[in-house]
Amino acid sequence: MAPHWLRVERRTTLPPRVVFGVSFAAIVAALLAAGIFFKAYGVSPLRAYQLIVTGALGSKVGLAETVRRTIPLLLCGVGLTVAFRALFWNIGAEGQLLVGAMAAAGVALFVPMPDLLRLPAMFVAGFAGGAFWALIPAMLKVRLGINDVISTLMLNYVAAFVMQYLIQGPWKGPTARGFAYTDKFPASATLARIPGTPIHWPTLILGVLAAVLAYIWVTRTRQGFEIRVVGENPDAARYAGISQGKVILAVMLVSGGLAGVAGVGEAAGIHRMLLAPSKLSFGYGYTAIIVAWLARRNPLAVIGTALLFGVIMAGGDVIKVSLGLPFQLVNVFNGLILFFLIGSEIFMRYKVSIRWRRA
Amino acid sequence: MEWQSWVISTGSFMLAYGTPLLLATLGEIYAERAGVLNLGIEGMMIMGAYSAFVTAYVTQNPWIGLVVAASVGAGFSLIHAFASITLRANQVVSGLALTLLGLGLSGVLGRAWGGLPLPQTLPEITVPGLSRIPILGPMLFDGHSLLIYLTLLLVPVMWFILFKTRIGITIRAVGEDPATADSLGIHVRLVRYACVAVGGLLSGVAGGYLSVAYRPAWTEGMTAGMGWIVVALTIFAFWNPIYGMIGALLFAALYHLSFRLQPWLAPELLRALPYLFAILVLVFVSRGTLQRRMGAPAALTIPYARGEE
């Protein structure tokens, strides 16, 4: 097994600084590995990372772009931490986000109501839409034992095609000429932004609020405890009389709902209309999986990890423009980070140290 | 007669589109039988598609392209093997990471190759004699590439190995009860590594088939979710190569038949159907007690370490 100069012990406790340190080291290692790609493109990795950081954080425009990306990642990420706690593999935040955006757009464009109520109604519809899309796989799992990874993932594709259908067919705006998008939302259906930036602050506040409330829910309430038991030890849950089905439905209601709210933010805050799914989302729902995993399933920590990936996404834009590198590099980046993260988890289970003298 | 051409086109498409699904499903069945869930199929397939196209383009030989795709797929799968077997990382997340990495990497590397025509694609063969049989001839023996028949041949071979040989027993033992297998002197990790590599190899070939035969070109993200459909088919197949074949071919036929709905259904909604079918096939097998009887390998997704848990 291990060479004699290595000392490997099983950890009995897991102090937060170990979690933080190991996660940090994993990201640094992933960045080093990704550096090979910059090198391959003839760009010094140091310069590339410098560009990412200054591009995403060094100016008002960059910072605004970073926060804009952070908002949907935060909302989706918080929801995913909750689902992952119950070990329900929700890979469908992307589709839930799109359905949320569709529901909000429907309310914005076609439902007559007083102006004052319109935005709140859009948020409610978005939450309900995302939750509905998430409850389908949840029900399939609870009732028929259908694999959650597959059903949530497949529904992403379905949501994207339905959206494509809406903007090219029945919802296509008469003012949009030949383009495939809806009409602009009326003023009463657009979210306020911080002047001069794309930051739709009401959604940002909702995101932070969601993180705090979800944290309280999963750590301080009885149901939060049940979620943990179902996730960590389904057998024990059964003996304790915890209804696994109820827990799964609850976490997916929240997880899908929050992704739906992220969709409302993108539609009403950024684009102010419904447009092609790939232009509305940029894969936020998928990136949020990494955000949630990096947060070690702690909703409060998502505030930090979502911001980190906001920096990576905004920085990715910058290096795409200024260095002419393909945007897909961000996916490579994300894949590497994810690998190093889960690979590093062994250091959270074991303490590895170097033995200087033979025992 | 219209119904004849209809049957022929469905059957022909069933083979052409079902083959890559089948190849990757066969591989995933082996990996999962040994206890390793690999959700990276989409990533391995797209890497296979990319590398096969580039190799075939440069060497002018699609067969060399497939060989390279096989090795790239196998090599790529070893990342997942290392993470999930040696480091005992979470298999779901590791597989997702592999898919992300594959889609990203092929997108970055493939930027210069999009839209190029492939000078030499996988040859389509006509079986002399057999192709003259009415209906069945043009459906099964005319204008298909050799790889399709090789894949179909692989089904009984892989079934036989899995259920009738010592190697198969070893693989299944590792997937059902690794601790006991270990105590019998079986090298659990090695078997798992090998099965994951077989899965990667076949996924690579499946991707390669797409880019040098099925639609001979390279497009970013050209696997379009096929890798996920394979994961569903593996469950549908009850981890059995024969059922895997039935599932892949049925799925392809269903996909083709859905185009008959064209007059009634918008094209975007039509394109959503295969993904709904994937859920549907799982609903279909979830009914009844079948699944309990022939369920998943007991140690699926559970890492093994001697003397723990």
Interface test with B, best of A10, A80, A144, A150 (most B CBs within 10 A): A150
d(CA B30, CA B196): 7
Q: What is the pTM of this model?
A: 0.90
- SS3 readout for chain B: CHHHHHHHHHHHHHHHHHHHHHHHHHHHHHHHHCCCCCCCHHHHHHHHHHHHHHHHHHHCCHHHHHHHHHHHHHHHHHHHHHHHHHCCCCHHHHHHHHHHHHHHHHHHHHHHHCCCCCCCCCCEEECCCHHHCCCHHHHHCEEEEHHHHHHHHHHHHHHHHHHHCHHHHHHHHHHHCHHHHHHCCCCHHHHHHHHHHHHHHHHHHHHHHHHHHHCCCCCCCCCCCHHHHHHHHHHHCCCCHHHHHHHHHHHHHHHHHHHHHCCCCCHHHHHHHHHHHHHHHHHHHHCCCHHHHCCCCCCCCCCCCCCCC
Residue A97 neighbours by CB under 8 Å, 6+ apart: A72, A76, A130, A259, A260, A262, A263, A266, A281, A284, A285
Q: Which of A5, A4, A120 is nearest to A356 (CA)?
A: A5
- With CB atoms and an 8 Å threshold, state whether B282 touches A151: yes
B292 touches chain A (CB under 8 A): no
Q: Which fold has domain B2-293?
A: ABC transporter involved in vitamin B12 uptake, BtuC (1.10.3470)
Angstroms from A157 CA to nearest CA on chain B: 7
Is A150 close to B232, i.e. CB distance below 8 A? yes
Query: Does B78 lie at the interface with A, CB-CB under 8 angstroms?
Result: no
Per residue in A99-145, pLDDT tens? 999 999 999 999 999 999 999 999 999 999 999 999 999 999 999 88
Contact flag B282-A346 (C-beta cutoff 8 Å): no
Say whether A147 and B232 touch across the interface (CB within 8 A). Answer: yes
Domain ranges of chain A: 1-43+325-359, 72-319
- The 3-state DSSP class for residue A351 equals strand
CA distance A358 to chain B (A): 25
Nearest to B94 among A37, A328, A339 (CB): A339
Q: How many CB atoms lie within 10 A of CB B235?
A: 22
What pLDDT was estimated at residue A175?
72
Give the contacts of B10 (CB within 8 A, at least 6 positions apart).
B253, B256, B257
Quote the pLDDT of residue A9. Answer: 80
Other CB atoms within a 10 A radius of the CB of residue A359 amount to 5
Q: How far is B3 from chain A (nearest CA, A)?
A: 31
Per-residue pLDDT of chain B (309 residues; tens, 9 = 90+): 577 888 888 888 899 999 999 999 999 999 999 999 999 999 999 999 999 999 999 999 999 999 999 999 999 999 999 999 999 998 999 999 999 999 999 998 888 888 888 888 888 888 887 877 877 777 778 778 889 999 999 999 999 999 999 999 999 999 999 999 999 999 999 999 999 999 999 999 999 999 999 988 899 889 988 999 999 899 888 899 999 999 999 999 888 888 888 888 888 898 888 899 889 888 887 765 455 556 678 888 888 887 664
Interface A-B: count of C-beta contacts within 8 A: 132
**What CATH code would you report for A72-319?**
1.10.3470
Nearest to A332 by CA among A48, A107, A128: A48
Chain B CA closest to residue A336:
B101
The pLDDT tens digits along chain A (359 residues) read 566 777 778 887 778 888 888 889 998 999 899 888 888 878 888 888 898 899 899 899 999 999 999 999 999 999 999 999 999 999 999 999 999 999 999 999 999 999 999 999 999 999 999 999 999 999 999 998 888 998 999 999 999 999 999 999 899 887 767 778 899 999 999 999 999 999 999 999 999 999 999 999 999 999 999 999 999 888 899 898 899 999 999 999 999 999 999 999 999 999 999 999 989 998 899 999 999 999 988 999 999 999 999 999 998 888 888 888 887 888 888 899 999 988 888 888 888 777 766 54
